[in-house]
Amino acid sequence: MNQPSAIVLGTGASLPEKILTNHDLARMVETSDEWITTRTGIKERRVAREGETMSQFAVQAGSRALEMAGIAPAEIDLVICATVTPDMPIPSTACLIQHRLGASRAAAFDLSAGCSGFIYALSVAHQFIRTRMYRNVLVIGAELLTKYLDWSDRTTCILFADGAGAVVLSADEREGHGILTTALHSDGALADYITLPGGGTLHPPTEESVRQGLHFIKMKGNETFKLAVRSIEDVCREVLATSGVRPGEVDLFVPHQANARIIDAVGSRLGVAKEKVYLNIERTGNTSSASIPIALDEANRKGLVHRGDRILFAAFGAGLTWGAALLRW
Ligand SMILES: CC(C)(COP(=O)(O)OP(=O)(O)OC[C@H]1O[C@@H](n2cnc3c(N)ncnc32)[C@H](O)[C@@H]1OP(=O)(O)O)[C@@H](O)C(=O)NCCC(=O)NCCS
């Protein structure tokens, strides 16, 4: 029996209302709109208010994706939530989402792969569908990174932001549609490039861990930048070669939105035309696992995605992890 394809039936996103501009940040730390814009491409980002939770945005993104898909919550077999900022360590946020959506039949779990979380989750969902274990999988990428920012550290607080995006992946018997290939990689030898050291069993939360700033995100930005460009290019070439697709045949490239300069560099090294690269970092900042599904939902609702289009996704993040996916819409 043939393996079914995993097609995207619906997309959804949800962002906090509150906007923090570069000018706002320039009043908080020694930085400027000019520096942030030229080094990162970010002009403003969304920030959750006190009391707002990651699951709130994830549920809204998920229900928008279900609505577009025309699928009832009870038809969902599995909920995967890619995140590094769950509501709490126990239970998984995916279980909270499953309950609030009314996805009563669904299994649910969180997946942690840094900024590559959505690509990892997409790949896992793909395997469940190919093996016919599940028909409908809700894949969510959701983060409230600003809860872990040191607002006095100008090297990180200007980058990260909040939001959620989701896709409904469904089994489809037509061949050559949906996810064509995924590739996942990791290198734990470089784990110290991007960390949030406190809050786990190594540094459980204590007054001392708070005093030492262990509950803040830390990043070796420059080293990460160089590696990200090379790794994203390589993994994109890998999925394109596996699927027999040339870079020039990509209709839309939806990369993780970490830095506009990384995206520009990857696009031009690959030879994907600028107008085929979807960029929204100017308005969203870096929302880690959420950035690709938010960008995809925006592109989809703007009518930029057409049946038969070849869409390339790629990401790089903490772990280190990186990955790519190629999809025929
Ligand atoms: C973080 C990042 C924007 C910094 O840009 P960069 O060009 O590498 O800048 P550097 O870290 O080399 O810093 C250059 C200078 O700007 C300064 N600087 C850093 N942040 C600043 C800010 N917000 N405002 C003004 N100056 C700043 C630094 O102190 C440094 O000053 P110095 O030359 O006097 O030492 C960039 O490295 C980046 O995007 N990295 C990758 C992020 C990523 O992909 N993460 C993985 C996925 S989450």
Q: pLDDT, tens digit, for every residue of 147-177?
A: 999 999 999 999 999 999 999 999 999 888 9
Closest to 117 measured CA to CA, from 46, 48, 186: 186
Strands of the chain (E only): list them: 5-14, 19-21, 44-46, 78-82, 107-111, 136-144, 162-172, 178-186, 194-195, 218-219, 252-255, 310-317, 321-328
Residue nearest to atom 47 of ligand 1 (CA): 317
Global pTM reads 0.97
Which residue of 145, 153, 222, 291 sits with most ligand 1 atoms within 8 Å of its CB, as the best mutation to test the pocket?
Answer: 222
Buried b (16+ CB within 10 A) or exposed e, 160-190: bbbbbbbbbbbbbeeeebbbbbbbbbbeeee
Residue nearest to atom 11 of ligand 1 (CA): 222
Question: Tokens representing 161?
Answer: 């932001």
**What's the pLDDT at 309?**
97
Atom number, ligand 1, closest to the C-alpha of residue 31: 24
Rounded percentage of the chain residues whose pLDDT exceeds 90: 98
Q: Is 107 exposed, middle or buried (0-12, 13-18, 19+ CB in 10 A)?
A: middle
> Does residue 81 surpass a pLDDT of 70?
yes
> Does residue 1 surpass a pLDDT of 70?
no
| Pocket lining: 116 vs ligand 1, CB cutoff 6 Å | no
Q: Is 275 exposed, middle or buried (0-12, 13-18, 19+ CB in 10 A)?
A: exposed
Q: What is the mean pLDDT of residues 94-118?
A: 98
Question: Tokens representing 261?
Answer: 């300069």
| Pocket lining: 39 vs ligand 1, CB cutoff 6 Å | yes
Report the separation in Å between the CA atom of 34 and the middle of ligand 1, taken as the mean of its atom positions: 13
| Pocket lining: 154 vs ligand 1, CB cutoff 6 Å | yes
CA distances from 161 to 72, 164, 225, 268 (A): 30, 10, 18, 26
Cβ–Cβ contacts within 10 Å for residue 243, how many? Answer: 16
**What's the pLDDT at 114?**
97
Report the separation in Å between the CA atom of 288 and the middle of ligand 1, taken as the mean of its atom positions: 17
CA distances from 263 to 152, 160, 208, 327 (A): 27, 16, 39, 19
Rounded percentage of the chain residues whose pLDDT exceeds 70: 100
**What's the pLDDT at 206?**
97
Spatial separation of the C-alpha atoms in residues 117 and 278, rounded to whole Å? 19
Catalytic residue among 22, 81, 95, 115: 115
Crossing angle between the packed helical segments 221-243 and 260-270, to the nearest 10 degrees:
40
Q: Is there a catalytic annotation at residue 115? A: yes
> Does residue 237 surpass a pLDDT of 80?
yes
**What's the pLDDT at 176?**
85
pLDDT tens digit string along 21-61?
999 999 999 999 999 999 999 999 999 999 999 999 999 99
Instruction: Give Cα 61 distance to the centre of its chain.
Output: 13
Q: What is the mean pLDDT of residues 261-273?
A: 96
| Residue pointed to by tokens 């569908």 | 129
Mean pLDDT (the chain) is 97
Spatial separation of the C-alpha atoms in residues 8 and 177, rounded to whole Å? 10
Q: Is there a catalytic annotation at residue 286? A: yes
What do you get for the CA distance between the two ends of the chain, in Å? 23
| Pocket lining: 259 vs ligand 1, CB cutoff 6 Å | yes
Residue nearest to atom 39 of ligand 1 (CA): 259
Spatial separation of the C-alpha atoms in residues 92 and 39, rounded to whole Å? 35
Question: Tokens representing 151?
Answer: 């607002």
> Does residue 281 surpass a pLDDT of 70?
yes
**What's the pLDDT at 271?**
95
**What's the pLDDT at 118?**
98
Catalytic residue among 22, 256, 259, 300: 256
**What's the pLDDT at 116?**
98
**What's the pLDDT at 169?**
98
| Pocket lining: 161 vs ligand 1, CB cutoff 6 Å | no
Catalytic residue among 22, 136, 286, 300: 286
Q: What is the mean pLDDT of residues 224-235?
A: 96
Q: Is there a catalytic annotation at residue 95? A: no
Structural element, H or E, at residue 299: helix 291-301
Structural element, H or E, at residue 225: helix 221-243
Spatial separation of the C-alpha atoms in residues 295 and 287, rounded to whole Å? 10
